[in-house]
Amino acid sequence: MIMPSRAAMSHSQPSASTCLHCDTRAKAFCRAVADESIEALAAITTTVDLREHTALFYEGDDARHAFTVKSGMIKLFKLLSDGRRQVTGFLLPGDFLGLAFGGHYVYSAEAVVASRLCRFERGRLDTLMSVRPAIEKELLGRATHELAVAQDQMVLLGRKNAIERLASFLVALARRSGRGAPGELRLPLPMGRADIADYLGLTVETVSRSFTALRKAGRIELPSSGVVLLYRLDELEAMAAA
């Protein structure tokens, strides 16, 4: 395994109006802050750029910051001491990360593709939250939603077979990517088979075989690496064993 470097990361201070015209604000927790007070948020925001396959932080690191994904894709994962890995989530623009317990991150975070994030120092964010409880309410709502998603993933990992897992994964991705098209659907699939396998609790070989099975069943096409076409989302949903 290639250990990603933390150095492949660049920081920068934002311009004064960073948050006001940010195009992911509507999707991020930042929407809890009104235009009038958005400067207070911008004041504690730094931008972080991550190259593909580089780490944002590792499980156990001091949790000094929290983040919002602005562009790209971030994967979260945990490792067992012998190297077994579980990917616990793929984050898209608007998603919040930085879950900590006892001052330490409880998972590692790595860029799947080149990504840009907003970074907030925890102490300052806590201070801002005390002044603006709407932020706290927003974060509670997001944590609640994440908890519901986590429970769906437990069902997947505990009770679904390989094809159901892959179908569930593709359907969930399609939903999050926001297209509501009923017919064909072109989805970016930037993560490798190993990441998908570690997310679904399978091996790369089983993931590959399941892709082939879905392809032979006429539900998907893999025209080129990094892309998947979905046909009949309703049929895929049925295969996901909701």
DSSP 168-201: HHHHHHHHHT----SS-EEEE--S-HHHHHHHHT
CB of 20 to a second copy, least distance (A): 25
- Our finding on whether 194 is near DNA (CB under 7 A) is yes
Return the structure tokens found at 9: 């990361």
204 binds, among a second copy, DNA, none (CB under 5 to 8 A by kind): DNA
Shortest reach from residue 40's CB to a second copy, in Å? 17
Residue 237 · residue 171 · CB < 8 Å: yes
Partner touching 12 among a second copy, DNA, none, CB below 5 to 8 Å by kind: none
Asked if residue 192 binds DNA (CB under 7 A), the reply is: yes
Number of Cβ within a 10 Å radius of residue 79: 14
> Long-range contacts: 233-241, Cβ < 8 Å, 24+?
233/171, 233/174, 233/182, 233/185, 234/182, 236/167, 236/170, 236/171, 237/167, 237/171, 239/163, 239/164, 239/167, 239/214, 240/160, 240/164, 240/167, 240/168, 240/171, 241/160, 241/164, 241/167, 241/168
Using rule CB under 7 A, residue 103 touches DNA: no
Asked whether position 224 contacts DNA by CB under 7 A, the answer is yes
| Partner whose footprint covers residue 151, from DNA, a second copy, none (CB < 5 to 8 Å by kind) | a second copy
Q: Nearest Cα to 98, choosing from 120, 71, 72? A: 120
Residue 174's binding partner out of a second copy, DNA, none, with CB under 5 to 8 Å set by partner kind: none
| Of residues 74, 75, 70, the one with CA closest to residue 25 | 70
Q: Which of a second copy, DNA, none does residue 203 bind to, with CB < 5 to 8 Å depending on kind? A: DNA
- Contact window for DNA (CB under 7 A) among 15-23, 114-122, 188-196, 231-239: 188-196
Task: Write out the residues near a second copy by the rule CB under 8 A.
Answer: 76, 78, 80-82, 84-86, 88, 99-101, 106-107, 129-130, 133, 136-137, 139-140, 143-148, 150-155, 157-160, 198, 200-201, 241-242
> Quick one: 47 or 208, whose CB is closer to DNA?
208
Query: Binding partner of residue 133 among a second copy, DNA, none, CB under 5 to 8 Å per kind?
Result: a second copy
Which residues, numbered 196-215, are part of the site for DNA (CB under 7 A)?
Answer: 201-209, 211-212
Nearer to DNA, 81 or 225 (CB): 225
